[in-house]
């Protein structure tokens, strides 16, 4: 019996091309396994073989998603595979988005199964968990040894058209798909049993897990705005013309700090948006629509606020991981506090 043919999708780092300096490389293909593909090959235990690897830079994919997918799918199709494995991407936002998009495109366009792996908080998880199987991984490559065997095992089950178990049994992230089943006890009794266990402080497993959200207590209101220093922060991607820090249009890995000294209005000659998640035309025409420097200067002149802070901070919220967003927020907040800023106006798109 011939082995199943597998294609492995990797980014420039795991594809052994280079780091962030090579993140803009266009898709390319190599025969056989590369990097973690060797471990993946071994995890199939002779039942399947990684016959080719497709590699694409994270920035290239994020900035040219439609064209990148077209090229990648064409390269995958050349190998006539039975299965595609993407990643794992762990908590890398751009990589996770690419892995999810590639896996989804493979299922839809080639009609073959695909598996990927991500940390649950990777933005690619929420974007693609309903359309593809995503093995839950650690947040960094330290979890590679655990992720690869689970991805291989699930891939083989899909290839053999075997019944796929629950997320807990197979290790994939819940897809939000409901399936009917016969329970030994009716729902009312199960609910009461869980309530009793909760009251007693005993462990129980809910049948309908709820999302967990951060709760942030607001600071007290500013008593006198006329004496306050107000700063602007945006996730709408407004940057100086040319995007000097090369903030990514999706799944940002950084934020920028830019001077507003002497700036009364954001013109199309000096500012633009780096954001890839909305139509940039109107923001590029007048960046004040996203970052209202003009209005803040007006009320500053009127004495309604004490001062507009000399710097603003910008990143892109499109697909950015929760971990990166929290890291950006903590760094920006520390800088604002050190500068004596009293309040922030945070704008999106």
Whether residue 329 is predicted with pLDDT greater than 70 in this model: the reply is: yes
Q: Is the pLDDT of residue 214 over 80?
A: no
With 80 as the cut, is the pLDDT of residue 213 above it? no
Give the list of residues 6+ apart from residue 344 with CB closer than 8 angstroms, or none: 230, 231, 232, 233, 336
Q: Are strands 4-11 and 83-86 parallel, antiparallel or unpaired?
A: parallel
Query: Residue 217: pLDDT band by 50, 70, 90 thresholds?
Result: confident
Closest CA to 52 of 39, 41, 68, 43: 41
In this structure, of 20-34, 61-75, 205-219, 270-284, the range with the lowest mean pLDDT score is 205-219
Residue 316 DSSP one-character state: B
Per residue in 101-141, pLDDT (tens digit) is 999 999 999 999 999 999 998 989 989 999 999 999 998 99
% of the chain surpassing 70 pLDDT: 100
**Is residue 88 predicted with pLDDT exceeding 90?**
yes
How do residues 236-258 score in pLDDT, each as one tens digit? Answer: 999 999 999 999 888 888 999 99
Q: What pLDDT score was predicted for residue 321?
A: 76
Q: Which of 130-134, 181-185, 295-299, 338-342 has the lowest mean pLDDT?
A: 181-185
Average pLDDT over residues 162-191: 88
Any idea what DSSP says for residue 345? E
Q: How many CB atoms lie within 10 A of CB 71?
A: 18
The answer, yes or no, to whether residue 309 has pLDDT greater than 90, is: yes
User: 271 with 280: CB under 8 angstroms?
Assistant: no
Quick one: pLDDT at residue 1? 56
Please report which confidence band the pLDDT of residue 307 belongs to, taking 50, 70 and 90 as the band edges: very high
d(CA 75, CA 9): 11
Look over the chain and give the mean of its residue pLDDT values, rounded to a whole number: 93
Q: Which residue has the higher pLDDT, 288 or 139?
A: 288
Global pTM value: 0.71
Of 159, 163, 150, 161, nearest to 2 by C-alpha is 159
Q: What domains can you pick out in the chain, each with its CATH number?
A: 4-170 (3.40.50), 229-347 (no CATH)
CA dihedral 146, 150, 152, 153 (to 10 degrees): 140
Q: Which of 32-36, 266-270, 323-327 has the lowest mean pLDDT?
A: 323-327
Asked whether residue 211 carries a pLDDT value surpassing 80, the answer given is no
Burial 227-254 (b: 16+ CB within 10 A, else e): eebbbbbbbbbbbbeebebbbbbbbbbe
For strands 229-234 and 307-314, give the pairing.
Answer: parallel
Q: Given this model, what pLDDT does residue 196 score?
A: 96
Task: Please tell me the distance from the alpha carbon of residue 29 to that of residue 203, in angstroms, as a whole number.
Answer: 49
């Amino acid at each position: 019996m011939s082995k199943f043919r597998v294609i492995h999708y990797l980014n420039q780092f795991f594809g052994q091309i280079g780091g962030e300096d090579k993140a803009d490389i266009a898709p390319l293909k190599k025969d056989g396994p590369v990097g973690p593909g060797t471990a993946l090959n071994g995890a199939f235990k002779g039942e399947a073989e990684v016959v080719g690897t497709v590699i694409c830079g994270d920035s290239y994919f994020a900035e040219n998603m439609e064209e990148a997918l077209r090229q990648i799918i064409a390269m995958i199709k050349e190998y006539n595979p039975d299965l595609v494995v993407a990643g794992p991407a762990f908590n890398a936002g751009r990589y996770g988005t690419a892995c999810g998009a590639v896996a989804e495109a493979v299922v839809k366009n080639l009609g073959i199964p695909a598996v990927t792996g991500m940390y649950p908080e990777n933005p690619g998880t929420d974007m693609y968990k309903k359309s593809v199987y995503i093995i839950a991984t650690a947040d960094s490559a330290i979890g590679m040894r655990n992720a690869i065997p689970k991805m291989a095992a699930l891939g083989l089950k899909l290839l053999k058209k075997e019944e796929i178990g629950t997320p807990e049994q197979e290790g994939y992230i819940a897809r939000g798909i409901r399936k009917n089943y016969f329970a030994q006890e009716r729902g009312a009794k199960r609910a009461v049993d869980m309530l009793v266990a909760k009251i007693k402080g005993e462990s129980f497993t809910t049948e309908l897990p709820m999302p967990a959200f951060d709760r942030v207590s607001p600071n007290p209101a500013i008593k006198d705005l006329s004496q306050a220093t107000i700063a602007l922060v945006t996730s709408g991607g407004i940057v100086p013309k040319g995007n000097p820090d090369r903030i990514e249009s999706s799944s940002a890995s950084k934020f920028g700090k830019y001077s507003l000294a002497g700036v009364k209005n954001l013109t199309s000659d000096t500012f633009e948006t780096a954001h890839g998640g909305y139509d940039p035309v109107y923001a590029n025409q007048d960046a004040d629509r996203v970052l209202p420097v003009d209005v803040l200067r007006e009320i500053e002149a009127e004495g309604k606020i004490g001062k507009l802070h000399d710097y603003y901070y910008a990143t892109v919220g499109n697909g950015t991981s929760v971990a990166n967003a929290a890291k950006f927020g903590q760094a920006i907040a520390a800088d604002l506090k050190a500068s004596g800023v009293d309040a922030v106006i945070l704008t999106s798109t």
